[in-house]
Structure 1
Amino acid sequence: MAEPMKVTTQRYRLGYHLMTPGGWMNDPNGFSFFKGWYHIFYQFYPYKAEWGPMHWGHARSRDLIHWETLGVALAPDAEENGCFSGSAVVYDDKLWLVYTGHHTPNARDPEDFYQDQRVAWSEDGIHFTKYGANPVLTKPEDNTKHFRDPKVWQDGKDFYMVLGSQGLDHLGRALVYRSENLLSWQLATELSKAKSKETEGYMWECPDFFHLDGQDVLLMSPQGLDPDGDRFHNMNQTGYLMGHVNPETKHLERGEFVEIDHGHDFYATQTMMAPDGRRIMIAWMNAWDSPMYEVEDGWAGALTLPRELHVKNGRIYQQPIAEVCQLRENELLHGPLEAENEYALGRKAELQLTFERPAAGRLLLLTDGEKHLQLSLEPDTHRFVIDRNTEDGERAAKLLDSDELKLRIFLDKSSAEIFVNDGELTFTERIYWQGVVSVRVLTSAKNQAQAWNLEDEANTY
Structure 2
Amino acid sequence: MNGVLASEKLIKAREYENRKQKEIPQGQKPAFHVSAPIGWINDPNGFSLYKGEYHLFYQYHPYSTNWGPMHWGHSKTDDFIKWDQLPAAIAPDEEYDQQGCFSGSAVEHEGRHILMYTGVQDKVLEDGTKVSRQTQCIAAGDGYNYEKLSCNPVIQSWQLPEGSSAVDFRDPKIWKEGEVFYAVVGSRHEDNSGQIALFSSKDLKEWEFVSILERCNNQYGLMWECPDFFLLDGKYVLLTSPQEMRSEGLEFHNGNGTMYLIGNYDREQQDFSREGVGSIDYGLDFYAPQTVLTEDGRRVMIGWMQSWDNHMVPQGFEWSGMMTIPRELTIKNGRLCQNPVREIENYYQNPVTYKDIIADKPLELKGIRGRELDMTIDVEAGYYGCFRINLAHSEKYSTSICYDLSKNTLTFDRNYSGLKRDVIYQRSMYVKNQDGKIRIRILMDKYSVEVFVNDGEQAMTSIIHTPIESDRIVFGGEGNVKFHVTKNDVVVN
The answer, yes or no, to whether TM exceeds 0.5 is yes
Asked whether the equivalents of residues 245 and 254 of structure 2 are also in contact (C-alpha less than 8 Å), the reply is no
Q: Does 1:72 align with 2:105?
A: no
Note the 1:39-78 alignment, pairs <5 A.
39-78=55-94
Equivalent residue for 2:120?
102
Asked whether the equivalents of residues 234 and 264 of structure 1 are also in contact (C-alpha less than 8 Å), the reply is no
Cα deviation, residue 415, structure 1: 1.0
Cα deviation, residue 317, structure 1: 0.5
User: Structure 2-normalised TM-score?
Assistant: 0.87
CA distance in 1 between counterparts of 2:387 and 2:74 reads 40
Superposition CA RMSD, Å: 2.2
User: Structure 1 348/288 Cα, relative in aligned 2: closer, same or farther at 3 Å?
Assistant: same
Amino acid across the alignment from 1:167: H
The gaps in structure 2 that reach 5 residues or longer are: 1-11, 125-129, 417-422
CA distance in 1 between counterparts of 2:140 and 2:267 reads 33
Note the 1:1-400 alignment, pairs <5 A.
3-4=16-17, 5-6=20-21, 8-9=24-25, 12-79=28-95, 80=97, 81-105=99-123, 112-122=131-141, 124-139=142-157, 140=160, 141-144=162-165, 145-196=167-218, 199-247=219-267, 249-255=269-275, 257-294=277-314, 296-339=316-359, 340-343=362-365, 344-358=368-382, 361-367=385-391, 368-369=393-394, 370-389=396-415, 391-400=423-432
Cα deviation, residue 286, structure 1: 0.6
User: Structure 1 269/213 Cα, relative in aligned 2: closer, same or farther at 3 Å?
Assistant: same
Q: SS of 2:369's equivalent?
A: strand
Q: SS of 2:236's equivalent?
A: strand
Cα deviation, residue 346, structure 1: 1.4
CA distance in 2 between counterparts of 1:420 and 1:151 reads 29
Cα deviation, residue 332, structure 1: 4.1
User: Structure 1 275/166 Cα, relative in aligned 2: closer, same or farther at 3 Å?
Assistant: same
Cα deviation, residue 359, structure 1: 6.3
Asked whether the equivalents of residues 12 and 432 of structure 1 are also in contact (C-alpha less than 8 Å), the reply is no
Amino acid across the alignment from 1:121: A
Equivalent residue for 1:433?
466
CA distance in 1 between counterparts of 2:353 and 2:90 reads 45
Larger RCO of the pair (alpha carbons < 8 Å, separation 6+): 1
User: Structure 1-normalised TM-score?
Assistant: 0.92
Q: Which stretch shifts more, 60-69 or 342-351?
A: 342-351
CA distance in 1 between counterparts of 2:27 and 2:346 reads 24
- Percent identity, please: 38
Asked whether the equivalents of residues 360 and 376 of structure 1 are also in contact (C-alpha less than 8 Å), the reply is no
CA deviations over 1:254-282 (Å, ceiling 9, x no partner) = 14541110000000000011010000000
Amino acid across the alignment from 2:489: N
Amino acid across the alignment from 2:387: L
Q: Which stretch shifts more, 252-261 or 165-174?
A: 252-261
Asked whether the equivalents of residues 241 and 288 of structure 2 are also in contact (C-alpha less than 8 Å), the reply is yes
Q: Does 1:447 align with 2:473?
A: no
CA distance in 2 between counterparts of 1:219 and 1:98 reads 18
Cα deviation, residue 380, structure 1: 4.4
Equivalent residue for 2:451?
418
CA deviations over 1:401-456 (Å, ceiling 9, x no partner) = 33731111011211100001001111001011222322222233221111122215
Amino acid across the alignment from 1:317: C
CA distance in 1 between counterparts of 2:44 and 2:378 reads 32
Equivalent residue for 2:419?
none
Length, aligned pairs only = 452
User: Structure 1 430/289 Cα, relative in aligned 2: closer, same or farther at 3 Å?
Assistant: same
Q: SS of 1:103's equivalent?
A: strand
